Structure 1
Amino acid sequence: MLDSAVAWMNARGNTEQWGTTPYSRIPGGTERVERYTTLNQPYVAELDGVPAGALVLDSGPSPQMPIAAAGEPERYVRLLVTDRRHAGLGIGAALLAHAVEEARRAGVGLLRVDCWAGGGGGLVAYYERNGFEPTDTFLSGTWPGQVLARRVD
């Protein structure tokens, strides 16, 4: 899914968000996915028994990102990706709704995510449509980022 997401973004002229190299060929990319699925809480959405999207929840932002801790317990969307063959079916929104429920079940009142803020802000707008509000901006090298938060209590 990550490789096809890179190809999909590149086909639309977006070479900045995740670059142009398939995720599986990025140095450390495969290892990162393995960490996501073993050290965090991964969830996979299926459509007719086939993986159609994935969400990874963590207890805070990646230590590699220049993002401050929330100062309270939180769940952090570390990864959200959908199979672009199923775009428009609400798979990403359903996974985010699941993240809200997981935070509630854990007794955590804050769900946060960071995303690429370039390209006209379309990804930021997507998270806003799903109940998140922009909080902090950041730069990771030259990569513009936006942190968004959603209260779930």
Structure 2
Amino acid sequence: MDVVKGGPADVPAIMRMLDDAQDWLASLGRAGQWGTDHWSENPSAVDRFTQLATSGTVWLGLVHDDVAGVIITSVTPPDYVPPASEPEHYVSLLVTARAFAGAGVGAALLAHARAEARDAGVGLLRVDCYDGDDHRLVAYYEKQGFTPVATFTARNGTWPGRLLAQRV
């Protein structure tokens, strides 16, 4: 897999991956994470991801020119997460195209994010994720070397989240 820099022009591909992930999660009875209404059909969601792609750093995982996944990192966390006490890189989005699920795309993109943080002289990589249903996403990030550091709720108290951190 090649990892290449992306940007706002890649938002349509990102939205397609998010829609597919929503459908997959809903099919497993795990709609609590992202809901069932496609974000690509919600102008405020499209604006949010366009802003993320504009203000953060977008990296695309490509397999034979197909977008297999995306990671967006930033130097600041979202509003619902307290800032770190040191410089950090923050994973704002990590999503894998369903066609490449289980192929290590997410792990490779996280490895790239760790390397980018180290190259920038930053020693902390943080991410937040959904902490509801079966907690599988928290377990995934723990498997990737992250340590849970805090719980929180977002979206007016309806979305249970977990903040995780990793020294790089």
TM bucket, shorter chain:
over 0.9
Runs of 5+ unmatched residues, structure 1: none
Secondary structure of the residue that 1:120 maps to in structure 2?
A: coil
The 5 Å alignment of 1:92-103 reads: 92-103=106-117
Gaps of 5+ in 2: 1-16
Cα distance in 2, alignment partners of residues 32 and 47 from structure 1? 26
Identify the match of residue 81 of structure 1 among 76, 86, 95: 95
Show CA shifts across 1:82-132 (max 9, x none).
001111100000000000000001100000000000112100000000000
Determine which of 48, 54, 69 is the counterpart of 1:53: 69
CA RMSD of aligned residues (A): 0.8
Residues 6-21 of structure 1: pairs in structure 2 closer than 5 A: 6-21=22-37
Alpha-carbon distance in 2 for matches of 1:7, 1:60: 29
Q: Secondary structure at the match of 2:108?
A: helix
CA distance in 2, matches of 1:48, 1:113: 28
Q: Which moved more, 1:27-36 or 1:50-59?
A: 27-36
Query: What are the superposed Cα offsets for residues 15-67 of structure 1, whole Å, 9 maximum, x if unpaired?
Result: 1100110111234111112112111100000111110100000112112x2x2
| Residue 146 (structure 1) shift | 0.3
User: Match for residue 91 of structure 1?
Assistant: 105
**TM-score w.r.t. length of structure 2:** 0.87
Q: Which amino acid aligns with 2:101?
A: A
C-alpha separation in 1, matches of 2:102 and 2:64: 16
Identity of aligned residues (%): 49
Q: Could you list the runs of 4 or more consecutive aligned residues of structure 1 that deviate by over 3 angstroms after TM superposition?
A: none
